[in-house]
Each structure stands twice: as structure tokens, then as C-alpha cells.
Structure 1
């Protein structure tokens, strides 16, 4: 048995023993070219009757691509009454979800719509998840955000059916039990974490991802890779404490054989396909491979748990309003593939091979360190990502003290998943190391 229980989970009662049970929960998953044309069938499988009213939650750019019209036309031809709300925004705030809730209540009252469909990148999907959850349980978003920011109430109902249709390949929000929102007045991000947040179904259609620009393809793809890398290197599930009540088991619950299998395959898929997807966006085979990598990476990382690079990314995003994918991309070399390598060099040596590095003749530790160099070479090949925090947002060494403090003080939910303990001094050094990944 491995792990320090004082470090991996905060718990006053240390009479608890190591975890002995793991579980995995996923939505119904429909994957493939033109899978979106089976949405009517998917809704019927969820018990939604012909003539039911539904709300598509998305953003204006997605409407402009024509993808939303494709979905509304299909559903209306199948007999559903569909309304579109396109007010989602990148890195959505609590107020964004409040606006969507107000729209629902004004149009359909307290009962809401018969079904909800989130369509777009992770931001739109998270707005859809929060809207459906609050409509089902009542109140406001902050009621279900952890204290001290919110009231810390527990979700008890999942609500009317929710189907998520991602049009990017990376966030994993379509299967995740977590929805993340900016709390603008506090300059932090908070999440609602519950299996009642998780969608009932996810429809993944690579033909919807071909309109992604190269920069978005790269950023979301590196987010998918980070999910796989972090989930593949976090603690084993039996390194955590077993809760007295199974309902209190955290949604990020550690590595299992299942998460390892999906994580390993996700790393390979990204390494072998992201260059083509970025430089030749019309290649549907590469797009399908990246969408599959996103799914597999999410099954790994959003079940086992993401860790240091995500913990560091949230303060950066809050302070500098950077995109999540780009932020993760510039932090991963110094954090997951730098600071964390000492936790298990053999595993990181395997990651180097999965990324495509030639490690023949190297020692285990030399091969482990090669994972970072191979990752940076991949980013350089994509030629659309910033080279570090300095290029990402003009961040200088004088500004990282606050970021390190925020990481340690506000992100313990993720740091408990990190394979090495992280002090404020450690976080400061990693931030400094991430200012420049290459010159």
C-alpha cells in the first residue's frame, strides 16, 4: 500500500482505512461520423417523447458555423419542439449560468424544459450541465458550490435528460461529473462536483469538429493529452481513504486498471494524430482519432483525477483570462512532466515511449526526463501554441508569487491527486520553470 493519508485526503477522522472499492460512471456514449443524426433515437432511448420541448445551450460562434441549424432541423423533423439559447461564453462565469437559468424559468417556469442539449466546447457544455442541475434541485448555482464561496449544498436529483454534443476534442466535459465556473468578484474558479451533474448521454461526431481553427485544435488536443497524462500518473485508488458513506466518495478517486488502459491509449492517439488534425483540419480520420483521444483521456483523467497542471491553470486563467487549453499546454512540461517525474520514473519513461520518443540506451531516469522534451517537440511542431507563460500572457517572474499562493490555497481538491506533495515554494519553482518552455 502506498500513500500518505494525511496528504492525499483532508479528513479529521483518521480512523478511516484505505479505499477498497472503485467505480466508474459514464453517460451513454454514441460515437462516429454523423452520429449527431441519431439524436432523435438517443432522446427516445432516454424516454423523451415526440413533441417534447428541448433547449439547446450553445454560443453565438457555434450558431454561425451552421452546426446548430443542422441539429435543430434534425430534431424538429423528428417532432421535437426546440429552442436555442446561445449566450454561453469562453471560461463561463456563475453569471452566465444564472442568465441561462433566468431564460429557462421565464420561458418554461419552474418545471423547465423536457430535455436539455449542450452543444459546443467545454464552456457551453458546462453551462448546460449547471443549468440542468439547478433546474432539477432548485435555488441558484452558488447554492451547490463548496463553502466558503458557495453554500455547499448537495445535489440530490439529476433532472430531465441532458445530452451533450462536443464540437471540440479535448475538454472531456461531455462525460465529466464536474462543471467549472469563474467567480469573477473573487477572481477564482469553482466547480460543482457531483454525479448528478453528469450528462445522461454524449454524442461525439467528428464531422462537427472540422470547423475548429488550428489554434483551438491544438489547445484542446493538449488538454486531452493532459487529462491522460495526469490521470495516468496520479495515486492508485487504494492510496486514498475509504469514506464511511459511499455517497461521499470523491469523483476523482485514483488510478485503476480501467483508467490506465484508457490513459495509455489516449496518449498514443494524441501523439500520432494531433499534428495532422492541426495542419490539415479537413482530415476526418485525424479528427475522429482526436475526438476518441479526448474521450479516452477524459475517462482516465476525469475518473482517476487531474492534478498539478490543472491546479496551476485555474489561478492563471482567473487572473489573466487565458484559454484553458493553452494554459494547460504551457504548464504541463514543468509540472506533470517535470516536477512529478520523481514520483515514478519508470512510469514517465513509459510515457516518453508513448509520446514517440526514442529512449533506446537511456537509463530509466533519462528516459523519464525525455517525456518532457518529446512533449515540447510536439508543441513546437504544432507551431500555434505559446512557448510558455511569458508568451501566453506576458507573465513575468515578479508575478508568480501570487499564482503559487493561489494554487496551494484554493486548489487542494486537485492537489490531493498529485503524485508528489506540493508546497507553495514548490509551486513557485514550477511556475518559474514554466515561464519559458523553449526560446
Structure 2
């Protein structure tokens, strides 16, 4: 086994991994789950006179969702301050603003509890803010070298509850926060179990106001997690960590993550058309939120891979939404380049997406996964048809995107079931320019 292809920790033994580990926040799911928010805080040991910070964005304030959350918290006896400055695809500077706000209001000790409410951007700002307040210093202290100082988080801090309003990112259970480094046009992650939330409250009634286009884009991110998690390395093909504490958070697929992937692919692919075209259908919205949760449990434990690695340079340079970037790259990456790693596994993916494979050879049947995925996108009628349609990306842009992928995204490329060189990445970007005409 070559270490270069391993997603295992730098401190490793030259032998296969034999142990897998699953860590999740407490999860509370269901219609009107927000009404149990006070109970959830009390269950985490937060007293009724505690003062907390709710991190969100202006849109959720304007449409009344934040007021609904705040009312339930205040009815339970909690004092809540709202910070609504979270930006789409948040930068390190955006998180710094939230941290400065906390220190100005509450000093270095911060708040008694934190809530992140919104899409993945709001949630990642909340996760990072709590972590930096508790561990001290600045965000860049905990970003990997050479961009940051590469210091490890050692403390989790006061209770953190995350409440998603989209069915997509899975950030509510993830041990990673993704931030833009604007002056370098890259994205970096802080990866640690100390950044993970204590609880996630998922209430599908908050997702019905999400517009069709954003419903589709976030769903494609969730579906990407599920498929990438299903097709990455098995955990026992990776190198054993020297000690349990150095085992990486993206540690390969297991039988458990595979079950979550399979259910997620089914829930998402069979409900997204309804959710996009009839957003008030609460049954479809609930299925989508559950599918996104299951996809995150699978993909964000086993490991996101090539598609996510290639999406970050695109998002940084062209300021595209993460979900739509995943959508246009998945056909060429996960369902294109990676099929050769294990065609039989991709036959299963094709069938989960609804493809008919009877009578086909293994490789031909595996390729049906890409065809079925593209057909799904065309049915949604709101997904760009490729990188060119997404952001005007052309052949002239490919060399930079390929070099950025290989130079800045090794954390994710090590999760990929096939090795990826810069030339490979360029070919894949070229393939993704046009998914259909």
C-alpha cells in the first residue's frame, strides 16, 4: 500500500487500519423540532439564565425565521443576542468580524452557548467563532500551513447547536469548517472534532422558503456527499494511525457509512424533483433534509474527494455557489474519472439513481450513473449545463484551476479512489466545461 494514496494521519504505522470511529452531535429531527430547542439546551447543561449568541444572516432575519427561533429560546428563559453578518461562502475576514463582536460584547470568555442558524455559511461561521473564542488567538492560527500557523484545537468550548435551513451541506454534523482566503483565491478548512457541534436540530419547516434554484443546488451538494462517501477508499485499505487521537476525520468508508449513503442517494434522487417544483410539499422537504443528513453522515465521515477538491478553486475565483459547483463537476469527477476505480460499485450507484442496467456489461452499466445524474439535473431545469454555463469558464482557465486543485487540495485528493495528477485534473476540468448541449 502506498502512503501517498492514503487519507490516514501523518503519524501512521505501515499497516492497514483495523478500527473505525463514528462521532456525531446529538441529533433532533422533525417537523417543529425548533419547539424543543430549549429542552435541547437544558439537556446540554445550559442553565435557563444563560446568554447565547445566534449566528445567522440578514435574509433569515428578514423572512422571520430568526424571530421564530429567538421566541422559542426566550420562552425557555434564555437571553439571546443575534449576529446576522454571515456572508455566502464566508471568508476568514467575515469570521474575524464575528469573533471581534463576541470579544467586544462578552470579553475573551465569550457567550454561554452558541447557535448557528442558516445554510452552511452561517453554520461554519458559528463553528469557527466558538472554536477560536475558546482556544484563543485568531482564525489563521488554526488554518493549516503554509496559509496559517497549523495549530491544533484542544478545546471544544461552550455548547454549540446548529440548525440548517437548507438540505445540502451537512455542516451541522461536520467536523470541518470551510473558509475563503480571499487574497489567495483559495479555500481552507479547519478540521477537528473540537469544531463539531454538540447538537443539531433539523426542522424541515424552515426549508420550505428556500427558492427552487437554491433547493436544487444544495441538494446536489448533499447527493455529492452521499456518492463520494460511497465510492471512496474502504477504511481498512488505509494506513493505521499511530494513536487514536491522530486518526483523521475523513477516515474511509465502512459498512455503516455505506448504509447511510445508499439511503441518502435514494431519498435525495427520488424527492428533489418534487422539492424543487413544489417547494411547499413538506413531505418532500422532510425527505430531502433527512437525505442531506444521511449523506453528510456518510460522506463527511468516509471522506469527500475529487469533486469537492476541484470545486473549491472554482468557487474561490468565480464566487459560485458551492452546491451548483458540485453539481456541474460531479459528472466528470465522481461519475466520470472515478468510475475506473471500481466499476461494479458504480453500477450500484447507477441503479440507486434509477438507471436500468439489465443486460449491460459492467462498465457500460457503471457509465449509466453519469447519464442518470445528468438527466436529473436537466429535469430540475435550474442547474448550469457545465462550467462554461456556470461561470463562463473556458479552455484558457483550465491550467490555473488544475494547478490550484493539486497544490491546495491534497487533504481531499488523498481521499480519492484514483490518484490525480495536474494533467488529470486539467482533463477533468475540460470534460466538465459542457455536461450537455
When normalised by structure 1's length, the TM-score is 0.98
Deviation at 1:299, TM superposition (A): 0.3
Does the CA contact (< 8 Å) of 1:379 and 1:385 recur in 2?
yes
Aligned to 1:254: 252
Alignment match, 1:222: 220
Shift of 1:10: 7.8
Contact preservation (8 Å) 2:4, 2:414: no
Q: Secondary structure at the match of 2:108?
A: helix
2:61 is aligned to 63
Residue among 368, 374, 377 paired with 2:375:
377
- Work out whether 1:94 is the aligned partner of 2:76: no
Provide the secondary structure at the position in 2 that maps to 1:179.
strand
Residue 5 of structure 1: how far off its partner (Å): 2.6
Contact 1:16-1:244 at 8 Å conserved across structures? no
Q: Could you tell me which runs of 5 or more consecutive residues in structure 1 were left unpaired when the two chains were aligned.
A: none
Matches for 1:32-431 after TM superposition, within 5 Å? 32-431=30-429
- Tell me: CA distance 1:63–1:350, structure 2 relative to 1, closer, same or farther (3 Å): same
What is the distance in 1 between the residues matched to 2:141 and 2:188? Answer: 12
Match of 2:22 in 1: 24
**Conserved 8 A contact 2:124-2:171:** yes
SS in 2 for 1:128: helix
Q: Cα RMSD (Å) of the superposition?
A: 1.1
Q: 1:224 to 1:15 in 2, by over 3 A?
A: closer
**Matches of 1:437 and 1:5, distance apart in 2:** 34
* Greater alpha carbon shift after TM alignment, 11-20 vs 144-153: 11-20
Runs of 4 or more, structure 1, over 3 Å off, are 9-15
Q: Cα deviations across residues 199-254 of structure 1 (Å, max 9, x unaligned)?
A: 00000000000000001000000000000000000001111111212211110000
Structure 2 residue matching 1:54: 3-state secondary structure = strand
Instruction: Name the TM-score, length of structure 2 as normaliser.
Output: 0.99
- Paired with 1:356 and 1:364, the residues of 2 have a C-alpha distance of 16
Q: Distance in 2 between matches of 1:4 and 1:62?
A: 48
Output the CA distance in 2 between the equivalents of 1:155 and 1:142: 12
8 Å Cα contact 2:387-2:434 kept in structure 1 = yes
Answer yes or no: is the 8 Å Cα contact 1:5–1:239 preserved in 2. no
- Distance, in Å, in 2 between the alignment partners of 1:31 and 1:10 is 32
- Provide the secondary structure at the position in 1 that maps to 2:405: helix
Secondary structure at the residue paired with 1:282?
Answer: coil
Deviation for aligned residue 1:361: 1.3
For 2:209 and 2:185, how far apart are their aligned partners in 1? 32
CA apart distance, 1:360: 1.5
Kindly indicate whether the alpha-carbon contact (under 8 Å) linking 1:4 and 1:239 is maintained by their aligned counterparts in 2: no
Give unpaired runs (5+ residues) of structure 2. none
Deviation for aligned residue 1:175: 0.1
| Contact persistence 1:57–1:88 (CA under 8 A) | yes
Query: In 2, Cα distance between the equivalents of 1:12 and 1:249?
Result: 9
Q: Distance in 1 between matches of 2:430 and 2:186?
A: 21
